[in-house]
Structure 1
């Protein structure tokens, strides 16, 4: 098992073709806390619209979710300023 991977893609390719059970002797026990306060919400988006959003996010170098959240924040701020 490699000690390090050069990228997430390389790690993914390795684990796609290997079983973690075969490397149990190389693994060590770890403890970590998980913050479950963050929530996600599923929203249906038309396929053609989602393709465009992904394309724009890719061009900007950000995650699709990040771009959508930024756009929603901007729209809500604009709507709030118009209603006051």
Structure 2
């Protein structure tokens, strides 16, 4: 006969009560009572922000409206082209 060493997991009235409980207790003692969780994680690429002159920003907004594309898409495209062209010269 095998001995079950896991403790009975209490019922919690709130998420705060649950987190407080596991701040003081070992999660490993309750693993057998916990349901397996499956979920997807959507990792997004990191974004960086760069300051640009007001005049450039205004012109970019005009181009964005005319092209029906977000400014971010246009700037990324231009930077890719410029970096690619620069890399070819090296």
Q: Same fold (TM over 0.5)?
A: yes
* TM class, shorter-length: 0.5 to 0.7
Q: Rg larger in 1 or in 2?
A: 2
Q: Does 1:46 align with 2:33?
A: no
Structure 1 residues 7-53: Cα deviation after superposition (integer angstroms, max 9, x where no partner): xxxxxxxxxxxxxxxxxxxxxxxxx8552341110101111111101
Q: How many corresponding residue pairs?
A: 52
Q: Quick one: which of 49, 72, 83 aligns to 1:76? A: 83
The alpha-carbon distance between structure 1 residues 65 and 34, as it changes in their structure 2 partners (threshold 3 A), is farther
Between Structure 1 and Structure 2, the one with more helix by share is 1
The alpha-carbon distance between structure 1 residues 34 and 45, as it changes in their structure 2 partners (threshold 3 A), is farther
Post-superposition shift, 1:68? 0.3
Post-superposition shift, 1:82? 1.1
Specify the alignment match of 2:5 in structure 1: none
Q: Give the aligned CA root-mean-square deviation in angstroms.
A: 1.7
Consecutive unaligned residues of structure 1, counting only runs of 5 or more, are 1-31
Larger relative contact order (CA 8 Å, sep ≥ 6): 2
Q: Please give the TM-score of this superposition, normalised by the length of structure 1.
A: 0.55
Consecutive unaligned residues of structure 2, counting only runs of 5 or more, are 1-38
Which stretches of structure 1, 4 residues or longer, exceed 4 Å deviation after superposition?
A: none
